[in-house]
Chains A and B, each alone.
Chain A
């Protein structure tokens, strides 16, 4: 049997664009924004070379990108767009409309901080700003995971009729090259299958009115259907991750763990930092410390029970947020993880960190010292004045 494995070097953006080519959406509507620009640009090349059947709509803004994608998805197509940062902010009004109209749009999102001050580099402020928009959110560690997550995303989104954004860290993943294993075109085609929407605007058999005025007598019930879909999405994600693993040999879950089984202390993080953290874990292990890592992938729906189970046996946990919601509390991952643990009988001591805003790099040594601090915290040898530390920020 011929080896069907195709290993190629691709940047995060190239990997996501390649997934889009293989998906061959009916419509893509997109507007350029650093660092996601390349995705639509590479895809435009596929259109120009006749490699896809897609109608590519070169809209005049991200608001229109999401509006056109919503129009196309409501019409009955498999539709995608891509964006970053301010682009996602401009789309914000349309995001809950996409989710509550139950449109399974899959959107690569390249994490970049939000203005002001303007800055093009990575943090998670953009996607965290829209974490309550009814979109499923997956944060990826590397290009391989982004590629796989986009393909899985199509399956998950269409099964549960909710949109999904799959994000990579701007520049760190989007512009850095790594070896990834591609799935052959025909296997992708077979995996995602044909899209058969249940209701669609162009259906000649049934004329529908979409986007009605819905008042006190019906709104709550209709909203409840969408809320319920997000609650059920966890089951669909689980099932789809399993199926993907069985088919292609790479199995994912709500989160991945690294050396967590016998760990006393751990770091919980998302995105590219988790790659760096694995090196720190290995260094600490060599020094005899029982440390581990939890890499959160799926932030929406928030896998509260599953996460609570994994961290409940730990002595101390550091939660790493690459955004600050300016809530006066902590970062969103910390706040939600703590909420998930509220009903647990046992829970670790927790300290949270906001790190890397505006693309500030994090060193392995900084993560090692966080592990050491957590070790001290677990032995009551250290106390923090605040619940959150802003890592490496100058006064």
Chain B
């Protein structure tokens, strides 16, 4: 794997000058994913923040071929692009080697685009799908998604006088993708550039469908100072709120183990305005519940790491 210095010297396949918010985690995901490639890639993007802020005509941040068509269909669209590439190659009408990367937010991936993603994964296209999961529909103004964590305040599941934000647990999409028996599935987080680029490099070295779920702090939707994107991303990892692991051909491997330094989940929650109401008197039980859910999910990952490697 390249060092940070080497990565910084690579041509910018995703350039600065876009209109992402200060401290935008999605832009970091795009930048670092693209850094992990050699530039011979085609990108397809679902409608969402990333597409909106990086392609405002007549500008584009993409120094690679880029296609956006709609919201729920990035996986189906890239299926077509990849199928065309395979067809032209087979017919000897095209000789360049290319990789195919789709980006979608949690809205375009967990929810409206889940069917399209599932279809593309099952069909076995040679693609990498990267979900930048910021846990709500940020582009339309912070509405809850199935990736929104329990207790988070969003505009469609707000914390009010009787409700305390989203009352349901988030969907475990990474597990859903593992159930597709694809060769590579991983979770990583903004703030761990080495983990992220390593996983992208590994994914792109494998033929077939790959999926990486990148946990991505959103300063606007989560409510924190723009300078804290990296810190909050790392806390998600250190509290095991978002475990880092990869699944290669069904085998789970932890890529970060806090061992006895696992931090309480409140360390992650307390920096974000979307969880502020949980720290009010009378809501202690909710914090306990979130800690319990987090521990349970973490134990689940540890169990999978153990049993799939026996």
Chain A neighbourhood of B98, CB < 8 A: 202
Contact A64/B67 with A71-B77, A71-B81, A202-B94 known, Cβ cut-off 8 Å: no
B277: interface (CB < 8 Å): no
Chain A residues closer than 8 Å to B227, beta-carbon distance: none
A210 to B67, CA, bound (A): 5
Interface size on A, residues (CB 8 A): 44
Question: Inside 8 A of B96's CB, which chain A residues have their CB?
Answer: 202, 204
Task: Check A356 for interface membership: any CB of B closer than 8 A.
Answer: no
Shortest distance between the CB of A204 and any CB in chain B (Å): 5
Q: Does B44 sit within 8 A of A, measured CB to CB?
A: yes
How many angstroms from the CA of A144 to the CA of B78 in the assembled complex? 35
B84 within 8 A of A: yes
Write out, one digit per residue, whether chain B residues 288-302 have a CB within 8 A of any chain A CB (1) or not (0): 000000000000000
Query: Is A384 interfacial (CB 8 A cutoff)?
Result: no
B70 in contact with A97 (CB, 8 Å): yes
Report B-chain residues with C-beta under 8 Å of the C-beta of A60. Answer: 115-116, 118-119, 122
Tell whether A79 pairs with B60 under 8 Å between CB atoms, given A64-B119, A211-B69. Answer: no
Using a CB-CB cutoff of 8 Å, which residues 212-265 of chain A contact chain B? Answer: 212-215, 218, 222
Among the 9-residue stretches A49-57, A183-191, A343-351, the one with 4 or more Cβ atoms under 8 Å from chain B is A49-57
- Of B56, B88, B98, B123, which is in contact with the most chain A CB atoms at under 10 Å from its CB? B88
A26 touching B87 in the complex, CB below 8 Å, given contacts A60-B118, A202-B94:
yes
Closest beta carbon of chain B to A278's beta carbon, Å: 41
Q: Are A72 and B80 CB-contacts (below 8 A) given A59-B119, A64-B119, A211-B69?
A: yes
With contacts A26-B88, A64-B116 known, is A207 near B70, CB below 8 A? no
**Are A209 and B62 closer than 8 Å at their CB atoms?**
yes
Q: How far is the CB of A51 from chain B (nearest CB, A)?
A: 14
List residues of chain A with CB within 8 A of the CB of B79. Answer: 29, 57, 59, 64, 67-68, 71
Give Cα A201–Cα B58 distance, bound, in whole angstroms: 17
Per the 8 Å Cβ criterion, residues 64-100 of A in contact with B are: 64, 67-77, 79, 93-94, 97
Instruction: Tell me if B87 and A55 are in contact (CB < 8 A).
Output: yes
Asked, given contacts A57-B123, A60-B115, A64-B119, whether A212 binds B55 with beta carbons under 8 Å apart, the answer is: yes
Once the chains are docked, how many angstroms separate the CA of A75 from the CA of B63? 16
A79 to B128, CA, bound (A): 23
Q: Report the interface size class on chain B.
A: 35 or more
- Which of B44, B68, B80, B83 has the most chain A CB within a 10 Å cutoff? B80
Q: Give the number of residue pairs across the A-B interface with Cβ within 8 Å.
A: 161
A77–B81 CA distance with the chains assembled, in angstroms: 9
B94 close to A214 (CB less than 8 A) = no
Q: A101-B69, A202-B42 are in contact. Are A75 and B76 (CB under 8 A)?
A: no
* Contact call A77/B76, Cβ cutoff below 8 A: no
* A68 adjacent to B83 (CB under 8 Å): yes
Q: Bound state CA distance, A63 and B72, in angstroms?
A: 9
Q: CA separation between A213 and B73, bound complex, in Å?
A: 17
On whether the beta carbons of A67 and B84 are closer than 8 Å, the reply is no
Asked if A37 lies at the interface with its beta carbon under 8 angstroms from chain B, I say no
Residue A208, interface by CB 8 Å: yes
- A58: interface (CB < 8 Å): yes
Q: Is the CB of A29 within 8 A of B80?
A: yes
A71 touches B78 (CB 8 A): yes
Query: Are B67 and A207 in touch, CB under 8 angstroms?
Result: no
Chain A residues contacting B75 (CB-CB under 8 Å) are: 64
Scan residues 1-55 of chain A and give those whose CB is less than 8 A from a CB of chain B.
26-27, 29, 53-55
Contact in complex: A211, B84 (CB < 8 Å) = no
Q: Are B73 and A63 in contact (CB under 8 A)?
A: yes
- Residues of the A chain whose Cβ atoms lie less than 8 Å from the Cβ of B57: 212-215, 218, 222
Q: Is B86 an interface residue (CB 8 A)?
A: yes
Q: Is the CB of B80 within 8 A of A71?
A: yes
With A64-B76, A202-B42, A213-B51 as known contacts, state yes or no: A55 contacts B84, CB within 8 Å. Answer: yes
* Bound CA span A61–B113, Å: 12
Q: Tell me which residues across on chain A come within 8 A of B42, comparing CB atoms.
A: 75, 201-202
Query: In the bound complex, how far is the Cα of B62 from the Cα of A93, in angstroms?
Result: 25
B111-139: contact bitstring with A at CB < 8 Å (1 yes, 0 no)? 00001101110110000000000000000
- The answer to whether A61 touches B119 (Cβ under 8 A) is yes
Specify which chain B residues have a CB less than 8 angstroms from the CB of A214 in the assembled complex.
57
Partner of B84, one of A58, A202, A208: A202
28 A-B residue pairings within 8 Å (CB atoms): A26-B91, A29-B80, A29-B83, A55-B84, A55-B86, A59-B79, A60-B115, A60-B118, A64-B75, A67-B76, A67-B77, A71-B80, A71-B84, A74-B67, A74-B69, A79-B80, A93-B70, A201-B42, A202-B81, A207-B63, A209-B65, A210-B67, A210-B68, A212-B55, A212-B56, A215-B57, A218-B57, A218-B58
Using a CB–CB cutoff of 8 Å, the interface residues on chain A facing chain B are 26-27, 29, 53-55, 57-61, 63-64, 67-77, 79, 93-94, 97, 101, 201-204, 207-215, 218, 222
- Across chains A and B, which 4 residue pairs bring their CB atoms closest together, nearest first? A71-B80, A60-B119, A68-B80, A211-B68
